[in-house]
């Protein structure tokens, strides 16, 4: 059995590098014509740099070109695909089948997006015969579904393992179009499924303790990774192209550890519940396994309004380290101060310490770091490296 | 000249409007969604006797464990000699090939049937019709008609599905908070939307009834009678361009945006 690919989201070049550094085997990233139209999508120059960076590490970059095209996009998209071929991306992720012929002519490998909601072995067979090299399965697939699909097809299967998910069948929601005039299948989704609504039975209001919403909990398959691996899933995908570097680093590192621990010793592997806590700490909603075990009753819903927690525990990122003076140069991401207990982690290491000495850029001693992106120096006894993350465990 | 096609909700209604209809669009039991009433093979056979074109909806997402049911249904439909099957799930194209079915297919991935390139792609795979998304502009519909090799269906009247989930969203809410009754409408910002939760999942519909009175360049224009009373619906069919209900053109003249400036 081959080790499956760990596939991470990359909202931009910075997050692409972080994801690969923290253990992803491949990343997916958007340029033009993708479903995250309102993020600062990558330019061709960024994508080129990202692909070169990844290939040097023997890793891969897939570019999302996953909108449902309207006529005008059909005319503009081919030159863009040619550019993607030139910069040597490893595959494009599409949802519109109109792109298959174009991609084949250009010589691009094609993965079919989850937007197509592929749920069964016959659909998979169709795409396999069409020359698609990988299917991102619908999130509604159960363990039995994945098993049967894998056993009956040769094509690569990609499965979501972590992150937010649509309340609808993917591709089958246009709430955004109707309520906000933003096209959900062309990247304008305004997440109406997370809004609260009043529920009525004809004219009578039906009220629970919290308002009605479509909102679902997030997905987390940490505990079931060995099951997915044993089913022969080829790629394990993390959702979240709009998430922070800290989130990406934490989630990728955690799943990397689980996959490696399982592969290193399958017979004695035991699920480490500590990983669940780490993932929970960076989540902004509760997580659950969703459809994998065939249960999609009331436990999948999330009735907590839009009160989502933010990661204020992420206090900084290491820019460099002076081994002689044991000083880490740090860029601030959230307020912290002398006396706080922190953890600094990199792709393979983790150290805990109490902040004692903080210096500003002129090496003056300071007590509080309160300005966004402020550059400071921290005394750190054990070696750290660029792009290590600093989280606050306990504030003074 | 458009063909008048109607999504029906009863056999009696089908008979009643027979003289105003060119084609019946019929949701089949177990494998169709978004419509109030579904029909058995026997009922479809009866409607077939009205000597109009007949298209059957198999428009639900097909889960792996539903393939057996789907195959059996397709074989039964094949015997009816109808004009086409309106499908969502791509397994239908594969099964048409594997089972060597003669019945034509209508690509209807609801909100994803948005351009002529994809429509022609499926045409080349043997799918001779496309049922266009209701989120297109009139100009886009016209351009698809010009550049598409097959025939098009376009919705012109009725409630429009906006959201479909496998989850039972109303049931889940009622169960979570131990409520005594279910709801069938949701409300937000002065608008009500019908929400239907049943064993196949949940569908939410537009707050308005689409009511297009303009000439639309399409081979089939579709009138959906679901949730509309029969007398009103009949009046619409008699002369849809001059019907008395408020005009509502949906996205025909309103282009959606996707990048917020």
Distance from CA of A190 to the nearest CA of B (A): 9
CB A317 within 8 A of CB A390: yes
Looking at residue B261, its pLDDT comes to 57
Beta strand pairing call for A134-136 and A218-220? unpaired
CB contact under 8 A, A171 and B94: no
Determine the residue among A199, A203, A208, A215 to mutate to test chain B binding: the one whose Cβ has the most chain B Cβ atoms within 10 Å: A199
Residue of A123, A129, A175 lying closest to B162 (CB–CB): A175
Looking at residue B114, its pLDDT comes to 97
- Delimit the CATH 3.20.20.380 region(s) of chain A: 5-300
CB contact under 8 A, A74 and B136: no
CB contact under 8 A, B67 and A121: yes
Q: Cβ of B169 under 8 Å from any chain A Cβ?
A: yes
Determine the residue among A131, A172, A302 to mutate to test chain B binding: the one whose Cβ has the most chain B Cβ atoms within 10 Å: A172
Q: Cβ of B33 under 8 Å from any chain A Cβ?
A: no
Question: What is the pTM (predicted TM-score) of this model?
Answer: 0.95
SS (H, E, C) chain B: CCEEEEECCCHHHHHHCHHHCCEEEEEECCCCCCCCCCECHHHHHHHHCCCCEEEEEECCCCCHHHHHHHHHHHHHHHHHCCCEEEECCCHHHHHHHHCCCCCCEEECCCCCCCCHHHHHHHHHCCCCEEECCCCCCHHHHHHHHHHCCCEEEEEEEECCEEEEECCCHHHHHHHHCCCCCCCCEEEECCEEEEEEEECCEEEEECCCCEECCCCCCCCEEEEECCCCCHHHHHHHHHCHHHCCCCCECCCCCCCCECCCC
Average pLDDT over residues B2-13: 97
How far apart CA A92 and CA B49 sit, in angstroms, is 49
Distance from CA of A118 to the nearest CA of B (A): 8
CB contact under 8 A, B188 and A198: yes
Looking at residue B260, its pLDDT comes to 63
Contact list in B for residue A202 (CB cut-off 8 A) is 184-185
Residue of A74, A181, A297 lying closest to B254 (CB–CB): A181
Residue of B133, B147, B173 lying closest to A212 (CB–CB): B173
Work out the percent of chain B whose per-residue pLDDT is above 70: 99
Beta strand pairing call for A235-238 and A212-213? unpaired
Which of the four pLDDT bands, split at 50, 70 and 90, describes residue A305? low
Query: What average pLDDT does chain B have?
Result: 96
Q: Chain B, 217-246: which have a CB under 8 Å from a chain A CB?
A: none
Instruction: Note the ipTM here.
Output: 0.96
Residue of A71, A200, A202 lying closest to B143 (CB–CB): A71
pLDDT tens-place string over residues A135-175: 999 999 999 999 999 999 999 999 999 999 999 999 999 99
Which of the four pLDDT bands, split at 50, 70 and 90, describes residue A1? confident
Looking at residue A357, its pLDDT comes to 92
Which of the four pLDDT bands, split at 50, 70 and 90, describes residue A33? confident
Considering only residues A329 and A75, tell me which one the structure prediction assigns the higher pLDDT: A329
Tokens 């509080």 identify what position? A368
CB contact under 8 A, B186 and A198: yes
C-alpha A282 chain-centroid distance? 12
Q: Cβ of B196 under 8 Å from any chain A Cβ?
A: no
The topology under which CATH files domain A5-300 is: TIM Barrel (3.20.20)
Size of interface A-B (CB pairs under 8 A): 230
pLDDT reading at A306 higher than 60 = no
Contact list in B for residue A175 (CB cut-off 8 A) is 162-163, 204
Contact list in A for residue B165 (CB cut-off 8 A) is 167-169, 172-173, 214
pLDDT tens-place string over residues B130-175: 999 999 999 999 999 999 999 999 999 999 999 999 999 999 999 9
Homologous superfamily, domain B3-160+208-242? Aldolase class I (3.20.20.70)
Considering only residues A40 and A96, tell me which one the structure prediction assigns the higher pLDDT: A96
CATH of region A314-394: 2.40.30.10
pLDDT reading at A208 higher than 80 = yes
Determine the residue among A40, A119, A300 to mutate to test chain B binding: the one whose Cβ has the most chain B Cβ atoms within 10 Å: A119
Distance from CA of B201 to the nearest CA of A (A): 9
Both tokens of A189, joined, read 């989704």
Looking at residue A269, its pLDDT comes to 95
Work out the percent of chain A whose per-residue pLDDT is above 70: 97
Residues 6+ apart with CB under 8 A from A72: none
Residue of A120, A172, A301 lying closest to B63 (CB–CB): A120
Lowest mean pLDDT among A118-122, A239-243, A244-248: A239-243
CB contact under 8 A, B65 and A69: no
Contact list in B for residue A187 (CB cut-off 8 A) is 258-259
CB contact under 8 A, B136 and A70: yes
CB contact under 8 A, B89 and A120: yes
Determine the residue among B68, B101, B117 to mutate to test chain A binding: the one whose Cβ has the most chain A Cβ atoms within 10 Å: B117
Residue of B118, B147, B187 lying closest to A198 (CB–CB): B187
Determine the residue among A169, A176, A193 to mutate to test chain B binding: the one whose Cβ has the most chain B Cβ atoms within 10 Å: A169
Q: Which residue of B has its CA nearest to A189?
A: B258
Domain ranges of chain B: 3-160+208-242, 161-205
Distance from CA of A301 to the nearest CA of B (A): 7
Average pLDDT over residues B42-51: 97
Looking at residue A125, its pLDDT comes to 98
pLDDT reading at A284 higher than 80 = no
Work out the percent of chain A whose per-residue pLDDT is above 90: 87
Looking at residue A187, its pLDDT comes to 86
């Amino acid at each position: 059995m081959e080790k499956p690919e760990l596939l991470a989201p990359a909202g931009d070049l910075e997050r692409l590098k972080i994801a690969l550094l923290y253990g992803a085997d491949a990343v997916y990233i958007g340029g033009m014509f993708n479903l995250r139209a309102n993020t600062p999508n990558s330019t061709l120059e960024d994508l080129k740099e990202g692909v070169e960076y990844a290939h040097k590490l023997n890793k891969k970059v897939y570019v999302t070109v996953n909108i449902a095209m309207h006529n005008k996009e059909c005319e503009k998209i081919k030159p863009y695909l040619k550019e993607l071929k030139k910069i040597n991306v490893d595959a494009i992720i599409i949802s519109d089948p109109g792109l298959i012929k174009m991609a084949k002519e250009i010589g691009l490998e094609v993965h079919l997006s989850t937007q197509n909601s592929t749920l069964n072995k016959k659909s998979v067979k169709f795409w396999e015969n069409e020359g698609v090299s990988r299917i991102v399965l619908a999130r509604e697939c159960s363990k039995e579904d994945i098993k049967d699909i894998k056993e009956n097809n040769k094509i690569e299967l990609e499965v979501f393992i972590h992150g937010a998910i649509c309340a609808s069948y993917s591709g089958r929601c246009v709430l955004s179009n109707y309520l906000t005039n933003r096209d959900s299948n062309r990247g304008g989704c305004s997440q109406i499924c997370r809004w609260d609504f009043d529920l009525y039975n004809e004219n009578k209001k039906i009220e629970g303790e919290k308002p009605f919403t479509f909102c679902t909990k997030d997905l987390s398959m940490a505990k079931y990774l060995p099951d997915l691996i044993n089913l022969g899933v080829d790629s394990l995908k993390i959702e979240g192209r709009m998430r922070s570097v800290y989130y990406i680093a934490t989630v990728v590192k955690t799943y990397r550890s689980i996959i490696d621990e399982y592969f290193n010793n399958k017979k004695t592997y035991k699920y480490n519940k500590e990983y669940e806590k780490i993932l929970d700490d960076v989540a902004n909603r509760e997580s659950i396994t969703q459809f994998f075990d065939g249960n999609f009753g009331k436990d999948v819903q999330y009735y907590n309004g839009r009160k989502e927690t933010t990661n204020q525990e992420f206090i900084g990122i290491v820019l460099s380290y002076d081994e002689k003076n044991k000083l880490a140069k740090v860029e601030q991401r959230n307020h912290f101060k002398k006396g706080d207990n922190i953890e600094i982690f990199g792709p393979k290491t983790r150290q805990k310490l109490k902040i004692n000495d903080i210096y500003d850029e002129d090496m003056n001693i300071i007590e509080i770091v309160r300005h966004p992106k402020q550059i400071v120096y921290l005394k750190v006894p054990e070696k750290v490296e660029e792009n290590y993350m600093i989280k606050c465990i306990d504030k003074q | 000249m458009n063909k008048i096609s109607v999504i029906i909700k009863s056999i009696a209604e089908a008979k009643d409007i027979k003289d105003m209809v060119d084609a019946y669009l019929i949701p089949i039991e177990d494998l169709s969604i978004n419509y109030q009433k579904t029909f058995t093979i026997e009922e479809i056979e009866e409607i077939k006797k009205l000597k109009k074109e007949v298209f059957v909806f198999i428009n639900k997402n097909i889960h792996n464990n539903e393939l057996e049911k789907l195959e059996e249904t397709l074989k039964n439909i094949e015997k009816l000699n109808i004009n086409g099957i309106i499908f969502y799930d791509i397994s239908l194209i594969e099964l048409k090939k594997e089972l060597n079915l003669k019945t034509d297919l209508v690509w209807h991935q609801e909100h994803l049937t948005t351009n002529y390139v994809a429509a022609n792609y499926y045409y080349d795979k043997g799918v001779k019709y496309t049922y266009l998304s209701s989120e297109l502009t009139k100009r886009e519909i016209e351009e698809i008609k010009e550049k598409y090799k097959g025939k098009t269906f376009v919705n012109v009247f009725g409630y429009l599905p906006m959201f479909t989930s496998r989850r039972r969203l109303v049931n889940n809410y009622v169960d979570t908070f131990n409520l005594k009754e279910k709801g069938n409408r949701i409300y937000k910002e002065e608008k009500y939307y019908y929400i239907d939760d049943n064993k196949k999942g949940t569908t939410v519909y537009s707050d308005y009834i689409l009511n297009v009175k303009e000439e639309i360049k399409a081979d089939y224009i579709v009138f959906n009678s679901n949730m509309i009373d029969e007398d009103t619906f009949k009046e619409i069919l008699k002369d849809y361009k001059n019907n008395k209900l408020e005009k509502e053109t949906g996205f025909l003249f309103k282009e959606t945006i996707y990048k917020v400036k």
